[in-house]
Amino acid sequence: MLKRTCLLLGLAVLLLPGCIEFDRQTVTYEHDTKADTLLIHQTYHGLYGADDVTQLSEQEREQLANVMKRQRTFFFANWIFELNVEGCKEQLTEAATPKTNSLEEAHRRAQTNALALLIANVRIENGKFYLNEKGQPCGTQRVTIRNVSKLIEAVNALLRRALEVEMKKSDSADERKLINESLARPGPFIILTGQQLRVRFPVPKEEFDKAGHDDEKLRQFLAEFVRSGGAMSHEHGEVHLSFGRIDAARESVTLPMAGKENYRGNALAHIRDTYGLAKDFDPKKDAEEFLKSKAAAPKQ
């Protein structure tokens, strides 16, 4: 159900046979409530390809080049969530034709509104490649999201419309009941208060209980998320996730990649020869400089 709803949202859910992955990721973010801006510094530790043990495949080289040319950023696994600004532009064009079905048209309008806001208010800048203390290639990105409260409001509206469509199309009475009860509850699905992010979403209890049972890396990811201060529970037919402290100045978390493969040193030569490696690069210092600057913002 979750993957189908993500497709309705227009979010990029990558299910490619092989792609660039990373061993761990550090996300450091600062939500400036007065400026209504969210700054995110991304560090991808241990970049590698999933196809061939010895070298990057041609597809993986193309994917890395695409990331370098287009505004794309990832969160903890390239199939969990990708923010792709250029992809949003393409999706906005594809969603231009009105729907004859009133429910689908309401979803289309919510989707185009959210996409337009993402395009206008998100900027993703690729940073330096460097080697960590293990000799693994790593990369950084700087992400700036302006008008974040308006954007979250639009995504919440899109979530609601996507769930309405999903409920209408579902052949399962239990699933329709689950979604309907979630939609009936007051309050948004995504809330950002200070540095605390909270998310709720309808998920059957049996799916929640099975999360990670057959996937050791996902199980490690979820356990590390909780150890790092995150919270995850299932209440009234919904999964509830939260991370961060409301009154903190900023938050940072490092989590393992929730992918299928383990790190292998097959990307170093290509990254070094194609993009270069910065010497004596400190990603923590880079994050500090970015978050202090407050200057990285999309043009109006």
> Residue 131 corresponds to which tokens in the numbers above?
């080697």
Count CB neighbours of 242 within 10 A: 16
Res. 196: pLDDT tops 80? yes
Per-residue confidence band for 102, with pLDDT thresholds at 50, 70 and 90 = very high
Distance (Å, whole) CA 255 – CA 230: 11
- pLDDT tens for each residue of 119-151: 999 999 999 999 999 999 999 999 999 999 999
Res. 212: pLDDT tops 80? no
Alpha helices (H) along the chain: 2-9, 58-69, 85-94, 102-121, 148-169, 173-184, 205-210, 216-227, 268-274, 283-293
- pLDDT tens for each residue of 15-54: 333 478 899 999 999 999 999 999 999 999 999 998 899 9
Distance (Å, whole) CA 296 – CA 285: 16
Count CB neighbours of 257 within 10 A: 25
Contact in structure between 253 and 27 (CB atoms under 8 Å): yes
Distance (Å, whole) CA 31 – CA 74: 18
Contact in structure between 282 and 67 (CB atoms under 8 Å): no
> Residue 7 corresponds to which tokens in the numbers above?
């497709």
Alpha helices (H) along 35-172: 58-69, 85-94, 102-121, 148-169
- pLDDT tens for each residue of 231-245: 999 999 999 999 999
Count CB neighbours of 218 within 10 A: 18
**Bigger pLDDT: 262 or 298?**
262
Q: Which of 224, 254, 252, 264 is nearest to 47 (CA)?
A: 264
Strand 238-243 to strand 20-32: parallel, antiparallel, or no bridges (unpaired)? unpaired
| Burial class (CB within 10 angstroms; exposed 0-12, middle 13-18, buried 19+) of 29 | buried
- The number of residues in the chain equals 300
Spatial neighbors of 274 by CB under 8 A, at least 6 apart, are none
% of the chain residues with pLDDT over 90: 72
Q: What distances in angstroms separate CA 139 from CA 45, 276, 292, one per listed residue?
A: 7, 11, 20
> Residue 277 corresponds to which tokens in the numbers above?
């490696």
What one-character DSSP code corresponds to residue 2?
H
Per-residue confidence band for 88, with pLDDT thresholds at 50, 70 and 90 = confident
> Residue 130 corresponds to which tokens in the numbers above?
């460097």
Distance (Å, whole) CA 300 – CA 284: 29
How many DSSP H helices and E strands does the chain contain? 10, 11
